[in-house]
Amino acid sequence: MGAKLLVLDANILIRAVLGKRVRALLVRYGGTVQFFAPDYAFEEAREHLPEILPKRNIPIEEGLAVLNSLSNIVRVVGIEAYSAYRQQAQRRLIGRDEQDWPILAAAMFLDCPIWTEDTDFFGAGVATWTSDRIELFFQSASTS
């Protein structure tokens, strides 16, 4: 069996920039798990980081450089790959954050779970993992 796949939400990319734990997990498990994020997730992180970074006393340029470096570990999935799942993903997110459809659509396209802190994905038909439980997923990936 090959490596397990996992789609990262923008909030996980932001956590990887702001702290050490998420980044360390990405590096540690990068050999057994293939990490993906739709282009949208990187764009959303780039949009929000300039307002978050100064509050954490992190220079904006430094934080954005860390985000850019994540593309060495997290593969970017372009809209052309997941756009066929757009309508289905949007329907599943009705009444929630419908703008996050690319995250769900990418997970549907790759047939894999989402790592997120966003409860909008719960019950949307795709397995979701939060940071406080993600190591259970990683441990199962290491043993399969």
pLDDT single digits (tens) 53-94: 999 999 999 999 999 999 999 999 999 999 999 999 999 998
Asked if 41 and 49 count as a contact pair (C-beta separation under 8 A), the reply is: no
3-state DSSP helix/strand/coil % of the chain, to nearest 5: 60, 15, 25
Q: pTM (2 decimals)?
A: 0.92
Tokens standing for residue 133: 């439980």
- Which residues touch 122 (CB under 8 Å, ≥6 apart)? 128
Token duo for residue 138: 């990683």
Tens-place pLDDT, residues 15-58: 999 999 999 999 999 989 999 999 999 999 999 999 999 999 99
- Domains of the chain and CATH, by start: 4-143 (3.40.50.1010)
Using pLDDT thresholds of 50, 70 and 90, give the confidence band for residue 1: very low
Distance CA 113, CA 130 (A): 11
| Integer Cα distance of 134 and 119 in angstroms | 15
Query: Do 144 and 38 touch, CB atoms closer than 8 A?
Result: no
Helix (H, G, I), strand (E, B) or coil at 114: strand
pLDDT digit string, tens, across residues 99-109: 899 999 999 99
